[in-house]
Chain A
Amino acid sequence: MGRYTLRRLLQMIPVFIGSTFLIFFMVYALGDPVAALFGDKAPDPATAARIRKDLYLDEPLWRQYAHYMGQIFSGHFGTAFNGQPVTELMASAFPVTLRLTLVAVAFEMALGITLGVLSGLRRGRGLDTSVLLLTLVVVSVPTFVSGTVLQYLFGVTWGWARPSVSPEAPLNELLLPGVVLGLVSLAYTTRLTRTSIVENARADYVRTAVAKGLPRHRIVTRHLLRNSLIPVVTFIGTDIGALMGGAIVTERIFNIHGVGYQLYQGILRQNSPTVVGFVTILVIVFLLANLLVDLLYAVLDPRIRYA
């Protein structure tokens, strides 16, 4: 297990370098960001040249990348155009998005697995059909639609929640945005759990457990659910990374100043240190979440071992 983890961690290095280079290249390909800093007015060439030199933008791409990676390994992520160090932006943005993601995942796990188990056990009956229909609707409605509609209903019409989240982003204000963010994943979790339960409900070990006369709740939670959770855990694990990066729409609707907001600003202003820095952290989160999922398999199914 230890060696397996180590090998996986080592594998992350090329993935990390490759992905940062790709992002760096893509932001670079968008063109010269300095011109846009001057707004609708043409930049003064001398000032623009100085800013470019300061930001290493006058160097060839590979030198810029080498300089940037050198900085990263010394823990320095560069400076955004408004003069703030990118690490400072990260320190304010990541906790907010992490909280938002946790709300979304908690919601998705609690409701998704419960619904999935219930409908899986009652396959073909009324509950199952309505859950399937409902999830289909949820999947087909884009986040910005469900977000704005729920925001308007809860925030303006009924006044139960604030339509926008305050800068400190306390957990209670993140409930509604978290639900919106987790909605689509919730539908997938429900459907995955249901299918898995249906499949395993006919397995030999379930029949044995029933034959032994074990109580029903014990069969369901211990035997059936635990074996059915592997695909669900895989999905939720990778979903954490996707949710953090994909919060861009939800964060915009609810004015949450998290990762999505910073990424959006970074892309709009072509600020490569911000974009590359944030995506780098997201890549790491993604890789670690994947590793965690793989390690969790052994917990769920002891037959899976790591060499």
Chain B
Amino acid sequence: MRRGAPYSLRARHSVRAVVLIVTAATTVTACGGGGGGSDAGVVRSSWGDPPNPLEPANTNDVQGGKVLDMIFRGLKRYDPRTGEAKNALADRIESPDQRNYTITLKKGWRFANGERVTAASFVNAWNYGARIDHKQRNAYFFEYIEGYDKVHPASGGAPTAKALSGLRVRNDRTFTVRLTQKFSTWPKTLGYNAYVPLPRAFFEDHAAWLRKPIGNGPYRVRSYAKGSVMKLRAWDGYPGPDKARNKGVDLRVYTDSNTAYTDLQAGNLDLVDDVPAQQLKFVRSDLGNRYINQPAGIIQTLTFPMYDRTWSGPAKAKVRRGISMAINRAQITERIFQGTRTPATDWTSPVLRRQGGYQPGLCGDACRYDPVRARKLIKAGGGLPGGRMTITYNADTGSHKDWVDAVCNSVNTVLRNDRACVGKPVGTFADYRNKMAGKKMTGPFRAGWQMDYPLIQNFLQPLYYTGASSNDGHFSDTGFDRLVNRANAASADGRAIAGFRDAEKILAEQMPAIPLWYQNGSAGYSQRLSEVALNQFSVPVYSRIRVG
């Protein structure tokens, strides 16, 4: 008994400690909760953790792009409603020959730290982005500027120049750009985030800038806790016409869009720009007209490995068209995506609108569900190679399995063969990309394209031009390339778009990629907000949102 005493004392201590913890915890609960107050006028929005550091030329994801769009303004800006590229900082962009451009800036623009935005702010930023030593993921956006091969050698070796020779500062407000080829729609690409100007602070103390980015947009970063929350506040000194209509935006990182949605329902969040698939059935009854479902500049396709002999060749074009006809797009978009996708009938996106190059029905019969003709066409082309096909997709994100199975099911029903088409999952997205880059695809695979800027050129050239950066199917057609070159050289806007449409018609004949559906952006918001809208990139137009 004597021996037991000290232990029991200790035990009593620990019991008291536990009781203390529990009481402390419960008392804190009592006074917790609520706690609005300081949030008045601030939009609380869901966010995803950007995978890369937030630098303009290094950010290629939607989440990071969202922030850049709030804290930066470039030469051009895409009208959030029409997608038209309008001058922002640019006063004039002139060219006598579609190749040499003179850019003049507007007066009175400043960065949030007071520094003036000059021609050098742009030229320095672009030189930084292009240089291979800085390993910027968007470096290829500068590839049309002369001297790119010197600062960014394709071999990956050391650069032989420090700056792009095609860029020249003329005076404080003017600089010139010389491109490597004629590119009539080039000025319209300048609304992309990679082309924004950078203040001197970016180059002088890079680490500090990354912790708290400084830009020239309607918002300033107040604080940034990586991976959890970024607080942005409206900048009173903003000289542009699109000042923020709210006091600020808190971007909160959510791992799971379901939690964000639950938080919206509980009143802890004002805006989600990704309604989870499981909630789509209930979202209209939950939110009523506070649910937005509108087209975004994203198209999904089934791309064929044109480097694989069994899938290329003139006869196989019939098979590819036949497969396209065997897919019941209307049924799949309705049943699986609850109407958040629209069956595709061309290779662009409705956000371009007709004047921008979108042409519904350009794909013709090939994109119309027709089981009888599909069966005939596939048979006429010699049938599926080896009698079977697989659709490769990555299984880790985006729940692609559901629709891949549905597409296969549709093909199988048409061919009256249960085993003609099967899905082929690849574990991770990285592995999937490696297989694509290594030309290891043995059948059609899923591909998605999110536009960089609302231009028909962006939906065609990077994807189907010989050797282009995202031509994953390695499609190559001299006729297509010639039409794209001609369109790029056209001096008038309408002629360029007509040229791209002609090139697109070649895709309709060859069918190197089957257009599946256009993806919509979906968002939901709380009763505190009004005038919420998405732009063509399916990103909320934050500066227009009103609170309360």
Q: Is B418 an interface residue (CB 8 A)?
A: no
Give the residues in chain A near B4, CB-CB below 8 Å. Answer: 222
Q: B502 to nearest A CB, angstroms?
A: 26
Bound complex: CA of A155 vs CA of B153, how far in Å? 55
For chain A residues 135-167, which have a beta carbon within 8 Å of chain B? 148, 151-152, 155-156, 159, 161-164, 167
Nearest CB in chain B to that of A248: its residue:
B255
Q: A262 to nearest B CB, angstroms?
A: 8
User: Do the beta carbons of B60 and A163 come within 8 Å of each other?
Assistant: no
Q: Is A74 an interface residue (CB 8 A)?
A: no
Given known A-B contacts A30-B430, A163-B259, A163-B266, A37 and B29 have beta carbons under 8 A apart:
no
Residue of B49, B154, B259, B472 ringed by the most chain A CB atoms within 10 A: B259
Give the residues in chain A near B7, CB-CB below 8 Å. Answer: 226, 299
Bound complex: CA of A84 vs CA of B203, how far in Å? 19
User: Do the beta carbons of B428 and A30 come within 8 Å of each other?
Assistant: yes
Q: Mark B1-31, 1 if CB is under 8 A from A, else 0.
A: 0011001101000000010011011001100
Q: Is B50 an interface residue (CB 8 A)?
A: yes
Give the residues in chain B near A49, CB-CB below 8 Å. Answer: 156
Q: Is B436 an interface residue (CB 8 A)?
A: yes
Nearest CB in chain A to that of B52: its residue:
A82
User: Do the beta carbons of A172 and B28 come within 8 Å of each other?
Assistant: yes
Give the residues in chain B near A252, CB-CB below 8 Å. Answer: 255-256, 259
Q: Which of B51, B61, B139, B268 contacts A164 (CB 8 A)?
A: B268
Q: B26 to nearest A CB, angstroms?
A: 8
User: Do the beta carbons of A46 and B132 come within 8 Å of each other?
Assistant: yes
User: Do the beta carbons of A268 and B397 come within 8 Å of each other?
Assistant: yes
The number of residue pairs between A and B whose CB atoms lie closer than 8 Å in the complex comes to 181
Q: Is A133 an interface residue (CB 8 A)?
A: no
Give the residues in chain B near A155, CB-CB below 8 Å. Answer: 262-263, 266
User: Do the beta carbons of A268 and B396 come within 8 Å of each other?
Assistant: yes
Give the residues in chain B near A299, CB-CB below 8 Å. Answer: 7, 10
User: Do the beta carbons of B266 and A170 come within 8 Å of each other?
Assistant: no
Give the residues in chain B near A265, CB-CB below 8 Å. Answer: 49, 227, 255
Bound complex: CA of A92 vs CA of B225, how far in Å? 10
Q: Is A40 an interface residue (CB 8 A)?
A: yes
Q: B474 to nearest A CB, angstroms?
A: 11
Nearest CB in chain B to that of A34: its residue:
B430
Instruction: Choose the segment among A194-202, A253-261, A275-283, A286-294 that binds chain B (4+ C-beta atoms closer than 8 Å).
Output: A253-261
Bound complex: CA of A203 vs CA of B155, how far in Å? 79
Q: B364 to nearest A CB, angstroms?
A: 27
Given known A-B contacts A41-B60, A103-B25, A269-B51, A31 and B428 have beta carbons under 8 A apart:
yes
Q: Mark A31-50, 1 if CB is under 8 A from B, else 0.
A: 11111111111111111011
Nearest CB in chain B to that of A257: its residue:
B228
Given known A-B contacts A30-B430, A44-B469, A164-B268, A82 and B22 have beta carbons under 8 A apart:
no
Given known A-B contacts A253-B256, A253-B259, A268-B397, A46 and B29 have beta carbons under 8 A apart:
no
Bound complex: CA of A83 vs CA of B28, how far in Å? 36
Q: Is A65 an interface residue (CB 8 A)?
A: no
Bound complex: CA of A103 vs CA of B210, how far in Å? 35
Nearest CB in chain A to that of B14: its residue:
A109
Q: Is A22 an interface residue (CB 8 A)?
A: no
User: Do the beta carbons of A82 and B431 come within 8 Å of each other?
Assistant: no
Bound complex: CA of A43 vs CA of B519, how far in Å? 23
Q: Mark A85-117, 1 if CB is under 8 A from B, else 0.
A: 000010010000000001100100110000000
User: Do the beta carbons of B18 and A106 come within 8 Å of each other?
Assistant: yes
Q: B546 to nearest A CB, angstroms?
A: 25
Q: Is B226 an interface residue (CB 8 A)?
A: yes
Q: Is A81 an interface residue (CB 8 A)?
A: yes
Give the residues in chain A near B155, CB-CB below 8 Å. Answer: 46
Nearest CB in chain A to that of B396: its residue:
A268
For chain B residues 103-142, which have a beta carbon within 8 Å of chain A? 132-133, 135-137, 139-140
Given known A-B contacts A42-B437, A50-B132, A257-B227, A33 and B430 have beta carbons under 8 A apart:
yes
User: Do the beta carbons of A40 and B430 come within 8 Å of each other?
Assistant: no
Nearest CB in chain B to that of A154: its residue:
B266
* B residues contacting the other copy or chain, number (CB 8 A): 72
Given known A-B contacts A45-B154, A50-B132, A106-B22, A36 and B429 have beta carbons under 8 A apart:
yes
Give the residues in chain B near A36, CB-CB below 8 Å. Answer: 428-430, 433
Give the residues in chain B near A50, CB-CB below 8 Å. Answer: 132-133, 135, 156
Q: Mark B382-423, 1 if CB is under 8 A from A, else 0.
A: 000000000000001100000000000000000000000000
For chain B residues 42-82, which have a beta carbon within 8 Å of chain A? 49-53, 60-61
User: Do the beta carbons of B254 and A255 come within 8 Å of each other?
Assistant: yes
Bound complex: CA of A30 vs CA of B448, how far in Å? 22
Q: Is B188 an interface residue (CB 8 A)?
A: no
Give the residues in chain B near A226, CB-CB below 8 Å. Answer: 7
Q: Is B253 an interface residue (CB 8 A)?
A: yes
Q: Is A302 an interface residue (CB 8 A)?
A: yes
User: Do the beta carbons of B472 and A42 come within 8 Å of each other?
Assistant: yes
Q: Is B96 an interface residue (CB 8 A)?
A: no
Q: Which of B32, B226, B228, B262 contacts A152 (CB 8 A)?
A: B262
Residue of A152, A251, A257 ringed by the most chain B CB atoms within 10 A: A257
Q: Is B229 an interface residue (CB 8 A)?
A: yes
User: Do the beta carbons of A82 and B262 come within 8 Å of each other?
Assistant: no
Given known A-B contacts A40-B449, A110-B18, A270-B430, A255 and B156 have beta carbons under 8 A apart:
no
Q: A84 to nearest B CB, angstroms?
A: 5
Bound complex: CA of A77 vs CA of B509, how far in Å? 54
Q: Is B180 an interface residue (CB 8 A)?
A: no
Nearest CB in chain B to that of A151: its residue:
B262
Q: Is B494 an interface residue (CB 8 A)?
A: no
User: Do the beta carbons of A173 and B135 come within 8 Å of each other?
Assistant: no
Q: B416 to nearest A CB, angstroms?
A: 35
Q: Which of B21, B136, B253, B263 contacts A163 (CB 8 A)?
A: B263
User: Do the beta carbons of B18 and A47 come within 8 Å of each other?
Assistant: no
Q: Which of A45, A92, A163 contacts B268 (CB 8 A)?
A: A163
User: Do the beta carbons of A167 and B29 come within 8 Å of each other?
Assistant: no
Q: Is B470 an interface residue (CB 8 A)?
A: yes
Closest 9 CB pairs of A and B: A35-B433, A36-B430, A167-B228, A172-B28, A83-B53, A46-B156, A49-B156, A31-B431, A172-B29
Q: 9 A-B Cβ contacts within 8 A?
A: A31-B431, A34-B430, A84-B226, A163-B266, A172-B29, A255-B254, A257-B227, A261-B227, A299-B7
Interface residues of A (CB under 8 A from B): 30-47, 49-51, 54, 81-84, 89, 92, 102-103, 106, 109-110, 148, 151-152, 155-156, 159, 161-164, 167, 170-173, 175, 222, 226, 251-255, 257, 261-262, 264-265, 268-270, 299, 302
Q: A36-B428, A89-B227 are in contact. List 17 more A-B contacts (CB 8 A).
A: A30-B430, A32-B434, A42-B469, A45-B156, A46-B155, A47-B132, A47-B139, A51-B135, A155-B263, A155-B266, A161-B29, A167-B228, A172-B25, A222-B4, A255-B260, A257-B253, A269-B51
